Amino acid sequence: MHITKSASELQLHGRFDAHEIQLFRSRLEEAILSSPNVRVDLQDVEFVDSTALAELVRGMKHCREAGGDLVLVSPSDPVRIILELTKLDAAFIID
């Protein structure tokens, strides 16, 4: 996975799985320091696993505790399907 960070937006590319959690977590923490409202662009993510989903939920909670929110932007079809199957599409703001 590759993460591009600009202010309070993270753009993820490739696979988002257990191997990428530490990198995502550190970039998310940096973004939250800039603003508690963080956008995570998922349009170029081809795969997510359960640990990645759990990390997104953790990130959402952390943003909310800081007075903001985590918004999922343009989830790719595979990601959108997983979000729907796990009912997490109802938990997140999806733009």
Q: What is the pLDDT of residues 21-58, one digit of tens each?
A: 999 999 999 999 989 999 999 999 999 999 999 999 99
Provide the 10 A C-beta neighbour count for residue 3. Answer: 18
For residue 45, the cross-strand partners are: 14
pTM: 0.89
Rounded to an integer, what distance in angstroms lies between the CA atom of residue 24 and that of residue 52? Answer: 9
Q: Answer yes or no: are the C-beta atoms of 95 and 69 closer than 8 Å.
A: no
With 90 as the cut, is the pLDDT of residue 61 above it? yes
Domains and CATH numbers, the chain: 2-94 (3.30.750.24)
